[in-house]
Structure formats: structure tokens, C-alpha cells
Amino acid sequence: MNLRRVVVTGLGALTPLGNTFPEYEKNLLGGVSGAAPITRFNAEKFKTRFACEVKNYDPGDYFDRKEARKMDPCTQYALVACDEAIADADLDLENLNLDRIGVIWGSGIGGLRTFQDEVVNFSEGDGTPRFNPFFIPKMIADITAGHISIKYGFRGPNFVTVSACASATNALIDAFTYIRTGRCDMMVSGGSEAAVTEAGIGGFNAMKALSERNDSPETASRPFDKDRNGFVLGEGAGTIILEEYEHAKARGAKIYAELLGGGMSADAHHITAPHPDGAGASLVMQSALQDAGLQTEAVDYINVHGTSTPLGDISETLAIQKVFGEHAYKLSISSTKSMTGHLLGAAGAVEAIASLVAIKNQTVPPTINHFTDDERFDPNLNFTFNKAQQRKIDVALSNTFGFGGHNASIIFGKPKE
């Protein structure tokens, strides 16, 4: 099959580092932490009392009150990021074939706030089943793609991928496939999550997955640091407009980068723990390279999954060294979760955008909050600690790994004629 080229023509971001793509880009390169005490609810009795929340967000700035009440924050965040990306791509919807534009979204959980609130309201009542008629449509993860298509009239393929923290990357790979095989001209893709709730924090606390560094939230996410003790929960959304190259060229679109390939694999090991040798992580990166038709030496930067957990950071680093060999020491590596926290199902989208920021600016975003070296990591690897680094970046790879052993990686390249 003659596969078509796929490029990025629009970006939108609503993140703990900023409520627009330019704000996110600026703070990402500036090494800003998005972590702070939780404001969504009273977290006084929780083991972890901080998170990377979206800040200064008021639904009334984007939706009328009646409309907002029909959507969980997970969907609201997605629509805000989509509005920005569609405007950024300069899409003239009246003159595009909407039958050939689809929406493939990613979310690991979906409407957790809605689910929690409805169950709490029922349990605190007299047993009479009084539920919001929008309970189910607000809660189900797939509804976000539906809302996006309804708002803009996109009639192409429409669904949501659910693979925990790999969800948005899986969505991007699926969207990429629909375009490269000629079934669509354009796809709206990305991911959103809004899990900073009592159930979200409490559930991850029970798993001992979250950092409990309540005395210093802004330094709690410490990928590759000896004293890392868990991830910081984040929220938000990222949207990427993917478009067939000739279609984009014909309408004079600006092009951020080309999506070169993607890979998927499973650890087949444990429901939450990564494979200790990074077997699944190795396989997914090899798969992405093969799909892109690239040798390991072509990759300049890896935006790692890098959650700041004791086991995960080690297994991913071992996988990188196994796949890239000597070239691993010429790569730049960084974990932007040190700034954004872990956006779960949306992580793949906001980190894909971080990879695009790196290519656009020829600058590697930093891994902030490095204080103490861990002897288990090779000191000759470049983790881009604490400060962004300028370098030539033609190709960037982004990794995402999810509970259940789901792995997904995508590769972007500097745009070429």
C-alpha cells in the first residue's frame, strides 16, 4: 500500500502549565512546576494534598451554564483545547469535506467527577434513586469524541481509546493510521483527563502511587532523582490536528512537524508494575522505529514516560539503553511530567505536544527537580536536568506506558518538503 504522509497543522493545550498552547510552551521551556495544594476539594485528611491542577479555569468563560452542566470537566477540557487547535490550524469548515474528518480521542478514566458526585448524592439520600438524567452521558469516556464531532460537524471515524496512561498516544496512532491509509484527510486527536477528585487522589494514595511530599509540592515530581517517591496527579487536555500532507499543502496550512510512525506493545507482566527489564518498553520503541522506517541514530530526543516512581524510571531507562545502544549517550532525554504532573489518559497528548515544542524551538524541555543522583542510572545519559538545553532536533520520540502493561510510542520529525 502507498502510505500517505501525515503532518501536524494545529495545536491546543489546557494544562497545569497554562490554559493555551503558547502559555504551555513558554512554561514548559522555562522549567515551571505546575504542582500546588489542591483547590478542587478539601484534601486535609488525604495522604497527598497537592496536585497539578488546571489553574484559573472557569467553565463560564467557555460555555453557557446550561451547556456546561451537561459535560464533565474531562469533556470541557477537551473542547477548550479543540477550539484552540482548530483555530490554530485555520480550518475553514464550510469548505472542507467533513465526511473525511474524524475524531479519535483518548481518556483513561473519563467522567470521574460526575461518577463520584452522583454516587455520593445517592448514598447520602434516603435511598430514593434520584440521578441526574445526564449522569451516564457525562460519565462515559467515549462521549468526548461525540461532543467534538457534534460541535464541528465532523462525520468521519469517531471513538475514544482507553489504555490507561497510553490512551492519548493510542488515539494519535489510530488517527495517524486512518489518514496514512487514505480513509480520512484530517483527524482531531488528543486526550483529556480530570481525575483530581477525592476518588482519584484517594485511589492512587491507596495504591501508594502518589508522592506524599506535602511540604514541597512544586518539587514533588522528581523523575530519575534518588529521592523520587511517586508521581503527582495532573489534569487537562491536549489536541493535535493531524492532516494528510498534500491536503495541508493545498490549503496553505502551516506545518509543525510530520508524524513519522507509532508503535504499540504489552508488558504481559503485571497489572500496575512495569516489566523490570523494560521488555515491553523496548519492544514498543523498536516497533515505532520500524514503522517510521528509521534507524536508532536518527532520534535526537526522547520525551520519556518518566513518572517519578521508583521502578518505572529504571525500567524505561534500561529499555532506552537496550534499544539505542551507544546512541543512547548522544540522545537528549527528559520527563516533562516533572512539570505537568501525570495527566493519565491525556499524558500522551500533552507530551506529544511537548515533543513538538522541542522540534519547533530546537530546545529540549528540562527534567526539573533533580537534587540527588541515583547510582542506578548511568551518569553518562543526558536527562536534561533542571534547565532546558538547545540542540539540533530533527526527530523526537514520545513514550507512554499504562497500567495493565499498555505501551505506546510515537515519532515526530522536523517538516520536510
Which one from 147, 342, 370, 406 is the annotated catalytic residue?
A: 342
What single letter denotes the amino acid at residue 373? Answer: D
Q: Judging by beta carbons within 10 Å of its beta carbon (0-12, 13-18, 19+), is residue 28 exposed, middle or buried?
A: buried
Q: What DSSP state is assigned to residue 386?
A: S
Q: Which residue has the cell 524551538?
A: 361
Q: Angle at CA 32, nearest 5°, toward 31 and 35? A: 135
Rounded-to-5 percentages of helix, strand, coil across the chain: 35, 20, 40
Nearest to 74 by CA among 41, 33, 123, 115: 115
Buried b (16+ CB within 10 A) or exposed e, 92-107: eeeebebebbbbbbbb
Q: Which residue has the cell 516533572?
A: 338
Q: Is residue 342 annotated as a catalytic residue, yes or no? A: yes
Q: What DSSP state is assigned to residue 275?
A: P
User: How many whole angstroms separate alpha carbon 281 and alpha carbon 264?
Assistant: 9
Residue 236 contacts residue 54 (beta carbons within 8 Å)? yes
Q: Is residue 305 annotated as a catalytic residue, yes or no? A: yes
Which one from 165, 184, 247, 370 is the annotated catalytic residue?
A: 165
Which one from 275, 305, 370, 406 is the annotated catalytic residue?
A: 305
Residue 192 contacts residue 77 (beta carbons within 8 Å)? yes
How many CB atoms lie under 10 A from the CB of residue 329?
12
Buried b (16+ CB within 10 A) or exposed e, 164-184: bbbbbbbbbbbbbbbbbeeeb
Residues with Cβ < 8 Å from 335, sequence gap 6 or more? 223, 224, 303, 304, 305, 306, 307, 308, 313, 367, 383
Point out the residues that are catalytic: 165, 305, 342
